[in-house]
């Protein structure tokens, strides 16, 4: 059971790190410039690369949830109320984030190719009238609340989980502040969403290291037991 959990730590850490690396790479390649109309026309001509960018963005929520569940499996929560509440908000994040990013892959290109520019602007992520940006920010706020509930109790633990919990809590606070900034139309506060994401960059690599360390401990214990038996 422990070996399986450690394998999940390593696997989830690798998946999250790869997704988090590839998404900004394709975002940099496929970031249209100019007015909103010019950007939508660019998407019409470069729909494949635009869809690839948001495909990796779409993978962020399932990959980080898998990562978090793998970490939490090492420290089961006996408080069912807080666990269910945390999972409720994390599930809400998954749904909202999926709608936001999937719309860029399916709905926006469909409207653009049909010449329905005004309808596309409503769903276009970078538009000033975008409904998907609001949905996305609300999703990250849900993630922040859920992560806070699930990981704040682990700050008192020792070892790698303590550092990971600190990172999650900091990112959670920034994500919640960012959504508040969006609600009150404060650009400075809303920009905290960027820093909330940047804070999470090392969690995948840290989790991979954690998984290998735990495997090393188990292998060392097995060798000791075997030597005693011999």
Q: pLDDT for 155-175, tens place per residue?
A: 999 999 999 999 999 999 999
Q: What is the residue extent of each domain of the chain?
A: 2-217
Averaged pLDDT for residues 60-78: 93
Averaged pLDDT for residues 75-104: 94
Residue 129, pLDDT score: 73
DSSP state string for 54-82: HHHHHTHHHHHHHHHHHHHTTS----HHH
Judge whether residue 220 has pLDDT over 90.
no
Judge whether residue 223 has pLDDT over 50.
no
Two tokens, residue 164: 């990971």
Residue 128, pLDDT score: 66
Look at residues 90, 106, 93 and name the one whose alpha carbon lies nearest to residue 50. 106
Two tokens, residue 37: 């109309």
Contact 150, 191 (CB under 8 A): no
Residue 204: pLDDT band with limits 50, 70, 90: very high
The chain-wide mean pLDDT, for the chain, equals 90
The burial class, CB within 10 Å (0-12 / 13-18 / 19+), for 71 is buried
């Amino acid at each position: 059971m422990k070996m399986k959990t450690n394998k999940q730590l390593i696997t989830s850490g690798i998946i999250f790190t790869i997704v988090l690396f590839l998404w900004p790479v394709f975002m940099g390649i496929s970031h249209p410039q100019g007015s909103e109309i010019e950007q939508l026309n660019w998407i019409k001509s470069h729909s494949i690369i635009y869809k690839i960018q948001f495909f990796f963005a779409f993978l962020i929520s399932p990959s980080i949830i898998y990562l978090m569940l793998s970490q939490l499996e090492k420290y089961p929560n006996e408080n069912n109320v807080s666990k269910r509440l945390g999972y409720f908000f994390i599930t809400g994040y998954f749904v909202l984030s999926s709608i936001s990013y999937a719309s860029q892959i399916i709905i926006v290109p469909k409207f653009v190719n049909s010449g329905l520019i005004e309808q596309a602007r409503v769903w276009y992520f970078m538009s000033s009238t975008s409904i998907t940006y609001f949905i996305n920010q609300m999703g990250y706020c849900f993630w922040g609340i859920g992560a806070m509930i699930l990981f704040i109790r682990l700050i008192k633990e020792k070892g790698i989980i303590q550092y990971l919990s600190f990172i999650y809590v900091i990112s959670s606070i920034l994500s919640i502040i960012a959504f508040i900034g969006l609600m009150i139309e404060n650009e400075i506060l809303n920009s905290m969403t960027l820093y909330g994401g940047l804070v999470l960059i090392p969690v995948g690599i840290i989790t991979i290291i954690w998984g290998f360390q735990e495997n090393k401990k188990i292998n060392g214990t097995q060798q000791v037991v075997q030597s005693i038996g011999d």
